[in-house]
Amino acid sequence: MSDPSELDLAGLSLSRIASLAEGCTACELYEDATQVVFGDGPQSASLMLLGEQPGDQEDRAGEPFVGPAGDLLDAALIEAGVDRGEVYITNAVKHFRFEEKGKRRLHKKPTHRHVSACRPWLEAELAKVGPEVIVTLGASAAQSILGRSVRVMSDHGASVEWEQYLVVPTIHPSFVLRSSGDRARRDELFAMLVADLKRATELTSG
């Protein structure tokens, strides 16, 4: 059991940090989640994608963005010419927060307290990976690092300096999925996500 705010993570390897995160008890979300979903991707990545929290399938698989939102993200990355294998993908909150509706587990937005409790893990990932550019997917991810004044629909695609990184906010892949009933809107949102990912990768030096 561990609370990252009480650990000195600086001298540890990324894989050691990931295994310590498996025992995280910094907030109550570990009680109902299957497992922690730590970031995934090469430590040498110059581009980091930051989501909100794992979903149902990610919680079961133990990997970020492997469910429907992950499939859409993969399609957008391909369209943007970005190799997912070269990107580090993580979430602001590393346990799945949900409510049960019958047999289904429905996503529940994490609170500020959950984001703060998880923050040392994200900071450790940032310190180890040292990306040049961070793409935040959706409002929760953007606000977790840039603060509550960020508005994804007006700020998407901008490059914002934050600490030593450039942050490019964009929409969450789930937002595109939720608009699937309206073909034109879905295509517009998908194109927006692709353009922002493309812009972010162009901001990296290689």
Residues at the site binding ligand URA, with contacts judged by CB under 6 A: 51-55, 58, 64-65, 67, 69, 91
Nearer to ligand URA, 51 or 120 (CB): 51
User: Shortest approach of ligand URA to residue 54 CB, angstroms?
Assistant: 4
Tokens representing residue 164 in the block: 């030593």
Tokens representing residue 162 in the block: 């934050």
What is the DSSP-derived secondary structure letter of residue 84? Answer: G
Nearer to ligand URA, 54 or 169 (CB): 54
Nearer to ligand URA, 6 or 70 (CB): 70
User: Shortest approach of ligand URA to residue 67 CB, angstroms?
Assistant: 6
Residue 170 backbone phi and psi in degrees, to 5 = -145, 180
Nearer to ligand URA, 41 or 64 (CB): 64
User: Shortest approach of ligand URA to residue 64 CB, angstroms?
Assistant: 4
Alpha-carbon distance 52 to 1, whole Å?
23
Alpha-carbon distance 198 to 10, whole Å?
32
The single residue listed with the structure tokens 């499939």 is 71
